[in-house]
Each structure stands twice: as structure tokens, then as C-alpha cells.
Amino acid sequence: MYLNEKAWQVQQNNTYTIDEALKKFLDMYSVLAKDFQVSQIFVPEGEQVYLRSSYSIEKWMTEVDIEYKRLFLSFWQKRISYYPDDECEVSLEGEFLKGGTEAFLNDSFLLSICLDPTWKKEYFEADKFSLNDLSTETVFLYNSFHQEQLFKPPFIDILKKQKRIKIYSYDELWERHQELFPHLKFCPSVEKNMKILEKSYLDQVVKKLLELETTAAQGIFDPSILTKTTTESEATLEKYKKQHTFTDNENNEYLAKWHMRFTGIPGRIFFVPDYKKDCMLVCYIGKKLPNITYPT
């Protein structure tokens, strides 16, 4: 779930409105944490939440019940900081939404505080701009601003997908990968990839692998049913062929051009869809690999 950073930038000086907005936001967070075990909210790196008002959050916390104070501290201390994806931007009325970009790319939703009626909508039509081919398309952003929404579609469906399997470490993921993902094979190098990943990315990685497992089990590769799955350009594969070539357990080399995304570094999962009958090859999990547009 992704914090809507723009919702915090609304000017509001009415202390009653501020108090109600903060409490409703934290009630929503409390439901996520207790009912869905989602206590870590994605927040853009360097983003600070504060009120555009003479009435500060610090002042509010001295006056509010201790339970709300604890909820706010939990929300902020457990947040996951991320660097937005640098291959596309999602904007609303010309303003870049960092949280909106990641929510769209990961089939998730925004969490908004409602300091005024602007963000009291369940979805928004936004513009997605691709920095690779300079194309623009209209996309929908789901937006949660009240706890009751979380128990209704599409929010409940998104949350249920996240709870399907609970893994507690990358070591456990590697030890159980054959059991959990029988239709996926992994290059030996993937184990090393995961050893340097932050734990905060783990749930996302598991979710993406589950998508690949489900698709591979069906025996027909259809990227349209996977979350924002795309290929690298031929120019990238030509220039960075070595970085996109991986070796399987049988010492055979494969060029991986298909990838999924996960939030944070930004992250990529590269795979070969037609590895073997009803089986895909997962080649790489980690920071995105170099490409023509963004050499790294």
C-alpha cells in the first residue's frame, strides 16, 4: 500500500478538520495492520509528512489520545522508504504522483488523508507517461481514504492476494522455493541475489513469484495477466547482452528479456517464460539491470 504524498500537501487550518482527518487515516492504518497484517506502508524516500498549517502534527500528538499517538508512531517508524520507478511517471492534473506511480505498477492502491474533499474518491483517472518511448496513456488509480473501503472490492481483493503465502526471510524462500513454486526453476545466482536484498521487499517478491507460478502452471504465457510485465528493448539486449544472460542448473545459458517490477530500489525479476513445458526460469531478482535509457 502506497502513501499518497500529495494528500498531505493540502492547506488546512481548521483544527477540528485536521483532527478528524488524522484519526480517520490512522483508523484505516490500524485496520490494515490488525486485520490484514499490513503494518508497513510504502513512502517515497526523503518524504516527510507534516501539515501545511500553523497546527502541527507535534502539537496534535500532545493533545490526542495515546492510542492515536502510538498508531502514528507505528505508521511512521515502520514505513518502507523507496525510490520511485524511473521508467514511467503517473500524474494527476499535471502533478507527478510518486505513490500513484508505484501503486499502478504494482496493482496496489493509494492511502490518502482527507484534509479536504479532494481525495475523497475511490479511484482517479490519471496519465501514465513512459520515459522509454515517450508514450502517454490513461490509467486508473485506486484510492482508499476510509477504513470501510478496505473490506470491499477492489481493495479487499488486492489485500487478499498479498496474504496468500507468508514467508519470513529470503533464506526460507530459497529453502522452500521448489515446494512453493513447482512450475518455476531458479538460476543458482538467484540465491546470491536475494542475500543482498532488504527484507522489506520480501512480500512483493513472493507475490510476483506467485503470479509467475500461476501462469506457468496454466501452460500458456500471457503477459497481460501478470502485473505490469514487459520486455527489454532489442537495443538494450544487444548492448547489455552479458548482463542479461544467465546460467541454469544444467549450465545452459539463457538471455532473459522479460521482467516484472517491485518497489524500492527499483527492483526487477527477470525470467524466461518458455524455459521448458509448463515451466519458467527465474533468472534474476534484484536492482534493475542496465538498459539503453538508464545505464547503471
Q: Per residue in 9-24, is it b (16+ CB within 10 Å) or e — as a string?
A: ebebeeeeebeebbbe
pLDDT the model gives residue 16: 96
- The sign of the dihedral angle between the CA atoms of 246, 247, 253, 258 is negative
Give the cell for residue 188: 543458482
Q: Which residues pair with 178 in a beta bridge?
A: none
Give the cell for residue 25: 487515516
Q: Packing angle between helix 202-218 and helix 155-162, nearest 10 degrees? A: 90
Average pLDDT over residues 138-165: 92
Task: List CB contacts of 111: < 8 A, sequence separation 6 or more.
Answer: 1, 2, 3, 4, 25, 28, 29, 41, 144, 145
Q: Give the containing element (helix H, strand E) for 261.
A: strand 258-262
Average pLDDT over residues 194-211: 93
Residues, the chain, total?
296
Q: What digits encode the pLDDT tens for the residues 49-104?
A: 999 999 999 999 999 999 999 999 999 999 999 998 888 999 999 999 999 999 99
Q: How confident is the model at residue 15 (pLDDT cuts 50, 70, 90)?
A: very high
pLDDT the model gives residue 296: 63
Q: What digits encode the pLDDT tens for the residues 246-266?
A: 999 999 999 999 999 999 888
